[in-house]
A and B are shown apart, each in its own frame.
Chain A
């Protein structure tokens, strides 16, 4: 007995020590981690926590309150929540996130991933490269490409559709920023679903086909249940990113008449050009809480999958 039990703790201790092969030791390890933690704490964690305090002050960039800032409690929140502009911004955000992210990017990304599987090599490469290039181009270039596309007097779209003078960004700005964001972000869903689909066992599809299932039935009964985890992951990631994107600002700056004033743009305009930092911080707090809820949902899903 002793010969069996005896060596065990020693071997275990040995393995522990074997991890730290360079002889770093705990003290030095902590010293190695500290600089990174310091930067993260100071420039990421601290701003988030400070938002709680800032949201309860009447901080302003200029004017009297800039010199004499005072604590106002929940006044900013009640002011923000009583402002119809906030509610309309929230509504626009929901339309934008659902339209461009959850429906647009997910469905188009899936459709692309599904259709390129059986396509000739060159066609697949071309299609995937074009979709990916849209995602890789920097944000401010994205926006100008769309400005040029939709330009009223000489844009490409108007000359193609033979509709001179049609002002897309004024007539239907929300649809335009939704299409714009689909164009920018679909690559992610396409790539994620491509790798998910390649993991669906071909034998399952084969036996479904043998049993006489149509393409639609194969999709519904074999493919979708297999990649359910990926669909959830994709939806939550896309929701988080679309909710946080600042891209539409570059195209419409929230206008015309606040018709594309999604939450990220609304916060920017309130706090920085508007100078009302306290109210802006209160709105940021709401945004952080929504992000937290989405991220926690994501972490839970990820854990269940594991």
Chain B
């Protein structure tokens, strides 16, 4: 009898467990379902519904003058920030890895502390004012510099770890053949550390691509705004939300980061997004 009771109890618990896990799954999946159905629906509405399949929404999107331009702007901002950040961080992390500059550990520690305290939201007022004073307001250069400043500490920190693990024997032999430090860095260290550099480069691209606040504050003209800001404009500033446009645009804007995520997750594992998100 007690055995039967225990079995029933276990089955009930099992049922409760399955139902609650399924409910949590639905909670996470439900808002996302719209992103999968609406872009392919000839007459999308706000709710998730079986689509009347079409690809016309994407053609309609391509005809919007701002949409593709903003994707181009996102790409430009992401690439420029990536080049600046990765170049400077490679130089810095290599030097910090190989030479004991006085106060090195304190410097790394301080930089990391600084980047976690001075977040985009906490520093938006002084950053905005700084860009005003420097005449960089409403310029993409301003956005790139601010983003680079915020991301560099983390990138230097991660890259230094990678540099520490690059075997020094390669550099020794390159030096024996008379290569200078720049040459060694460029021809020996960078190729060996390529996985690490690729990792931080992708991380920076995703951070800039998804960032809303910095370009929202610093860029006023729609010609220079990235997709993250235009997306917001699409559903707040026009009287009637154009669902054909916004659904296709959401998908086009989201797809690259989803693809990057699956690629990186397969290659590097959880550390990518689990690391530090600004």
Interface residues of A (CB under 8 A from B): 16, 18-26, 28-30, 32-33, 35-37, 39-40, 42-48, 50-51, 54, 59, 108, 111-112, 115, 119, 126-127, 130-141, 143-149, 151, 153-159, 183, 186-188, 191-192, 194-195, 240-241, 244-246, 250, 253, 264, 267-268, 271-272, 277, 280-281, 283-284, 287-288, 291-292, 295-296, 298-299
Contact = CB atoms under 8 A, between A and B. Distances in A.
A23 B188 CA distance: 14
Contacts of A192: 274
Contacts of B189: 22
B114 interface: yes
A137 B31 CA distance: 11
7 contacts: A23-B181, A36-B92, A145-B31, A156-B47, A186-B28, A280-B125, A284-B125
Nearest to A195: B270
B120 A246 contact: yes
Contacts of B54: none
B99 A20 contact: yes
Contacts of B33: 156
Nearest to A280: B125
B250 interface: yes
Interface of B: 17, 21, 24-25, 27-35, 38, 45-48, 84, 88-89, 91-92, 94-96, 98-101, 109, 111, 113-130, 145-146, 148-150, 152-153, 156, 168, 171-172, 174-175, 181, 184-185, 189, 209-213, 217, 227-229, 231-232, 235-236, 246, 250, 253-254, 257-258, 261, 265, 270, 273-274, 277
Given A26-B101, A33-B95, A51-B126, A137 B258 contact: yes
A245 B124 CA distance: 12
B123 A51 contact: yes
B116 A291 contact: yes
Contacts of B98: 19-22, 24, 29
Contacts of B212: 138-140, 246, 250
A144 B235 CA distance: 8
A33 B93 CA distance: 8
Contact of B91 (A33, A267, A288, A299): A33
6 residue pairs, one from A and one from B, having the closest CB atoms? A43-B149, A32-B95, A29-B99, A47-B126, A138-B210, A36-B92
A156 B36 CA distance: 14
